Chains A and B, each alone.
Chain A
C-alpha cells in the first residue's frame, strides 16, 4: 500500500504550527487586543467612567471622544475598556466552571455507563436543564444580591450540564474503540483511561463548545445586566451599555454599535482561536500541507 500522504519527517512543533495557522493568529490578536484593553483599564482610561458630564452628552465620535459619549456624557471608549473587564471575566470564569466541573462529571458518567452514578449525574443534569437559565440566574441573584460574582456563578452553573453531556456523549463512543480495550488489557483503570485516552480525543469538541459557551456567557451577562441583576452601576458592562442604548437607538446609534461590535469581535476572536487550537492539538492536522 503506497500512501503518498506518508511523509517521513518529524511533525512540526506546536509553536511552529500555530505561527502558520492564519485563523489562530487573527483570533489570538483580537483576543489579546481586548485582554490588553481590559487590563489597561485598571490603571488608565482616557476619561473617568464614573464622572458624569451632562453638558457633554450624546457627542458623535471626535478627536477627544474617539467613539463619542453616552446620555450622561461619559466617554464610550473608556466605558468599553472597563466593560471588557466584566464581560470577559464573567464569560471566562463561567465557561471555566462549566469545563472544570462538567467535563469530569461527564467522563465519570461515561466510564461508569449504565451504573447508578451515571444515572445520578445525568438526571441531575436534566434537573438543571429543566429550569430556564435566566430564571435560575434571577433566583440566585435575588437571594444573594445582584453583583458580578453572583452573575458569574449563575451562568457557570448552567454551563455544567452542557459540558457534562457533551463529554459523556463523546466519551461513550470512544469507550468502544479498540485502543481503550488495549489499555484495559494493559491493566489501566477507568480513571487513567479517561485521562489518557478519552480526554485528549474529545478536546476538539470541548474547545468548539467552549467558544460557543463563551459567547453565550457574554450575552447572558448582558441579559442579566439588562434586567439589572448583573454588574451594578456605575461600573459599566457591555451588556448594560447595549441595554441603555436601546431607548436612544435612533438618536445615537453609536451607543449601541460600539458595544455590539466589541462583543462580536471578542466572540469572533475566540472562535477563530478555538478553531486554530483544535487543528494545532490534532497531530494529524498539524502536519504541513
Chain B
C-alpha cells in the first residue's frame, strides 16, 4: 500500500475543467517531483490532496492517504489531518509567517492545535523542530521575530512548522524559487535529510528540471491539467518519450544562437563606470550623533563595449539592484563617475544629464507590475518619448510603435489593447519594446527572465539575442540565475557585498572560476546532467 495514491482525479472550478484524470503515487521515504509551467495545475493538485480547494471547485476520483479515502472525510476530520499527517511548505517565505508572532509561538501553534499537549510541551517540541531544521537555540531562541531572519532562515521556520508533528507526507510548493542559489542548495539538502530521517513522503512541486533531477526519485510532468509523462527520474529523462518533456528539457537548457564577434577589441565603450560608490544612511543611533552609512556599492568599476552583452551575477543584497539604480541615474552616487559614450552622465553631487538618459533603458523582473494598468499599450511603450526634445508627430509615432512591436514579435494592432489582455511573456515583450523605442545604446535587463516559465524564457532569450545582433544594442544582464547568464552574455561580473570579486569572459569564468565565491555559486547551481549522472552512479554502486 502506498502512502498516497491519487487516482483519476478530475477537478473543475465553476465548471471550468482544471485537472483531467491525474494519477499520482508516492511511497514513504520517497520524493515525487511534480513539474510543470504556470497554469499546468500542479499547485491545485497539491491543494486537492490537502482539501484546501478554492470555493466553487468540484472534484471526482479518489485520493487515498495510507489507505484512507479522503473523499469520505468531513471538514473537521480533514482539519485534524492537515498539519498532523500532511504538512505543507509554501513558496514565499516572506509572507508565510505572521510578522507579529515569535517563531516559537508559530511553530508551537500547530502542535497545540493537534496534539492537545500543554503549552510547555508544545514549546519543547517546537524547539526540537527548529533544531532539526538547523536553527540552533543559541542563535535562534524561540522568542525571535520573523523580521530578524533572512529569507532562507524564514523558510527553515516554515519547514519546522510543517514537520513539527512528523507528518507522513510533506508537500513543498516551489519551496526554493524565491531564494538565492546557495540558500536553495541548503534548503534542498535539509528537505532531503528530513525525508530520510522521518521516512516521510515528499511531493516537490517545481518548474525547475535541474532541481527535481537532483531531488526526486519519481517525476510527474504536468501540462494543462494532465500528467503527460511520469516515471522513475533517470529513465524518464533518458527516454523522454513525450514531446512536451523534450520541449521542456530543451527550453531549460536553451542557448540562443548569437553572432560570436560581440565586444571585439577596439570597439568603443558604451558605458564606463569608474569606482562608483553608493551609501545608504542608517537610522540615527542617538539624537546627537550623525547617522552611519551602509555602503551598498563599493568602488565598482566596469565598462561595456558597443554591442556587448555583459552579465552581472550575485545574490540578493549584494548591491546589484542599487548599482542598476545608480546607472539609471535614479539615485545620486556618492563617489566616482558614470560616463555614457565617453560623456559624463552622472557623478557626485550633480544630477544626471536629461538628454543622455535616453541612451539607457531598462526592463524589470515582474511583468505584472511593470505597466500602469490604466493605459493602453501605445501610451505605455511611448513613455520614453518624453525624453525627446521634439515629440514625434502622430504619423511617425504610429510608425515607431509599429516597428517596436513587430521587433519584439507582436502585432502593430496590439497597440490599442490594455495590458491585462496579455500573458506574462507577452508583457515582457512589451517591456522590451518600451526600452527599444527610443533606440538606446544600453538596455539593463534586471532579472528580466526570472519570473517567466522555461519555454517562455527560451523565447525571450532568443528575442534578446536576435535584437542584440540586429540592432547592435548592448545589454547589462543582471541575474541570480547562472545558467541564463551563461547562455546570453559575452562577459560576466560576479558581485558580492558591494564589490566585483571576479570578472572575465563568460565561458572562462564558468569553466575555471578563480574566486572562492564564484566557485561556491557554481557549485550550488543545480545542473540537470550532473544530477542525472550522480543518480546513475549511485544506482550502479548499489
Contact = CB atoms under 8 A, between A and B. Distances in A.
Contacts of B424: 1
A182 B370 contact: yes
A46 interface: no
A187 B357 contact: yes
A63 interface: no
B502 to A, nearest CB: 29
A6 interface: yes
Interface stretch (B179-187, B230-238, B247-255, B413-421): B413-421
Interface in B137-189: none
Interface in A1-42: 1-4, 6-8, 10-11
Interface residues of B, number: 40
Contacts of A196: 372
B330 A187 contact: no
Contacts of A11: 418
Interface in B34-58: 37-39
A80 B68 CA distance: 69
B91 to A, nearest CB: 18
B364 A178 contact: yes
A186 B386 contact: yes
B386 A178 contact: no
A177 B362 contact: no
B291 interface: no
Interface in A128-142: none
A184 B384 CA distance: 9
B330 A181 contact: yes
A284 B420 contact: yes
B136 interface: no
Nearest to B355: A187
A188 B453 contact: no
Contacts of B39: 1-3
A185 B440 CA distance: 12
A283 interface: yes
Contacts of B384: 185-187
Interface in A162-190: 177-179, 181-188
Given A1-B39, A10-B416, A186-B383, A179 B423 contact: no
Interface of B: 16, 37-39, 224, 328, 330, 354, 357-358, 360-362, 364-366, 369-374, 383-387, 416-418, 420-425, 431, 434, 453, 456
Given A181-B362, A182-B362, 16 more contacts: A1-B39, A1-B456, A2-B39, A6-B423, A178-B369, A182-B370, A182-B431, A182-B434, A184-B328, A186-B357, A197-B372, A201-B373, A283-B373, A283-B374, A283-B420, A284-B420
11 contacts: A178-B364, A178-B366, A178-B370, A179-B369, A181-B362, A185-B328, A185-B361, A185-B384, A186-B387, A187-B384, A283-B374
